[in-house]
Structures are given as structure tokens and as C-alpha cells.
Amino acid sequence: MRYRQLGSSDLQVSEISLGSWLTYGVGVGADRAAACVHRALELGINFIDTANIYGRGAAESFLGEVLSGVPRDRYLIATKLFFPMTESDRGLSRAQVEKQLDASLKRLRVDTIDLYQCHRHDPDTPVDETMLALTDAVKGGKVRWLGFSEWPADRIREALAVAGAEKFVSSQPQYSLLWRRPEEEIIPLSRENGISQIVWSPLAQGVLTGKYLPDAPPPQGTRATSDEMGGFVDRWMQRPVLEAVQKLKPLAAEAGLTLGQFALAWVLKEPNVASAIVGASRPEQVEENAAASGATVDPALCAEAERIAAEGLSAART
């Protein structure tokens, strides 16, 4: 496993990180989920990402339990706040930062969260209120570093300009061969301001593993067949997209990688990406994904993959 510096922080994060969205505490049984976490640690994955909203606290509680016996210096924990936890508890106000942070610390069974992230921007709360509340959390020792997920560029600039506030060191965008929007503005802005990307859905909800075939129903036991985990995969389950993904397999084979590893290596070729978050329901998936760390791919293969993916997406829109 290789490691990269997370923005201007002092954190060295594994190139492959373990996520818990829709899986741990929700869609994957506890024993199998625990096996995934422990295998990730054995493979050198040191960065684990979650959020208070995942299972309304269930993912954090699961991770708090499974990591309770693990030495604290063996893992970095990242969580988030913003989405509604109750009818009245949502957003990024000072009151919510204080309340949700304390709740996350308790569920995760830690004294300090390594990376605390704003899950989305809050149009109802002034940015300076949020940033100064987060700054107090850092000064109080409850948080080490700050990040955001899916913020627009103007809000990022506004947050960076708040006088006396701690700076963001991470951005968590959706980014993959099938979703390249961060390249337009977020990555350049981040690069200029000491912010790294921690990428979610680098495998497009598993579609970029090639397991979904254009002329066959989704295999049983996969995310696309799960009521708990399959709600966001439909956007990629269009025939032109699935056909394009199958055309990527020979490129991956030429690179000596599985298609999933190829897709992760493509994401990691961007220097501003510090880590790619993967979800896993089996330890074997963790092993395969972890093997993408350090993989190098011929730029010509990457360019051809980008062309094929773009054609598939274009056909799906027509």
C-alpha cells in the first residue's frame, strides 16, 4: 500500500481507503463487514471514511465497535455532518457542529476525529459561522483537520477567506471514468489551496468492475440487486454505458489489471487525488481494490479508456 499526503495537513493517507456508505451498519452483515475492516487494516489501508447520516449513526456505531480494540495510531477516521439526523437536526450551524461532533465522537468511541467534513454546503448558515465553529473544534482537540464534500467553488473560496479560520485540507467529490466533473473547477481550485481530493464512487457504484452485463440481469448479491445499497446505481445501468464498460476490459488486461483496478489506477493518476474510497461487502473485494495502489498505466491506455467512456455516456444521453 502506498500513501499520499492529504493536502496541507500532516496526514499520510492510503491511496485506497475504506468507505461505509450504504454498507456497514446498513446493507452488509456485521460479521462480514468486520472482516472487511480488519482485512483492510492488514493490507495497509489506514483511512476509513464514514458520516453521521450513514444509517443515521449506524455506520459510525459499527466502526466504533469494530475498531475499539485496534491501536489508535493504526487508522485515521473521517466523518461528516450536514444531512438531517432528526426533523430538527440538520445543517452546519454552530449548534449543529457542536452537537453532531459530540455525537459522532461518542459513536466512534474516539477522543479526536482525524478529518471532519461538511457533507454538503448549507445555504441557510453563513459560511463564517460554520468555519469558526469548526475552528473551535480543532482548537479544542476534538478534530485534527477539516474537509468538505461536493461544495461549489464559490463556497469553497468564501470558506478559505474567513479570517482566523482553519483551512480545508480535503475535498470529497464523486470522481471516476464515468464522472469527471471535478476536473473542470474543483481540482484546479483545490490544487491552488493545499486541498487534496478524497474520491467517492471511483468505481461508479461497482459498474466499473464490469460485473454488470448489457444483456443479463444484475448478478444476485450485487449492489444493483440490493434494496439497501442499490438506490444510486441506476444512473449507470443504461445499455450504452454498460457496453462501453465492457469495451474497457481489454485495456485493463493489457495493463495487467482487473477492470476495477484499472479504474482505480485511472483515478489515482491525478496527482491531486490523495485517496480513492472503495466500498466492500467481502474481504476479497478489499484485497482486489487494495492491489490498485501503486499501479501504473500507459497514458495511451488511459486516453483510450476516456474516449470509450465518453462515447458511452454520450450515447446514453441521446
Q: Which residues are catalytic?
A: 54
Residues with Cβ within 8 Å of 316's Cβ and at least 6 positions away in sequence, in order, are: 238, 239, 240, 241
Residues shown for the chain: 318
Name 276's bridge partners: 16, 199
Q: Letter for the amino acid at 95?
A: A
Q: Whole-angstrom Cα distance, residue 65 to residue 189?
A: 37
Distance of CA 212 to the CA centre of its chain: 22
Would you say 127 and 158 are in contact if contact means Cβ atoms under 8 Å apart? yes
Q: Letter for the amino acid at 98?
A: E
Q: Which of 53-62 are b and which e, b meaning 16 or more Cβ less than 10 Å from the residue's Cβ? A: bbbebbbbbb
DSSP state of 75: -
Q: Whole-angstrom Cα distance, residue 78 to residue 147?
A: 9
Name 170's bridge partners: 147, 196
Q: Which of 20-42 are b and which e, b meaning 16 or more Cβ less than 10 Å from the residue's Cβ? A: bbbbbbbbbeeeebbbbbebbbe
Cell digits of residue 235: 444512473
The dihedrals phi and psi of 204, each to the nearest 5 degrees, come to 50, 55
Residue recorded with cell 475552528: 135
Helix 30-42, helix 283-290: angle, nearest 10: 30
Residue recorded with cell 461487502: 281
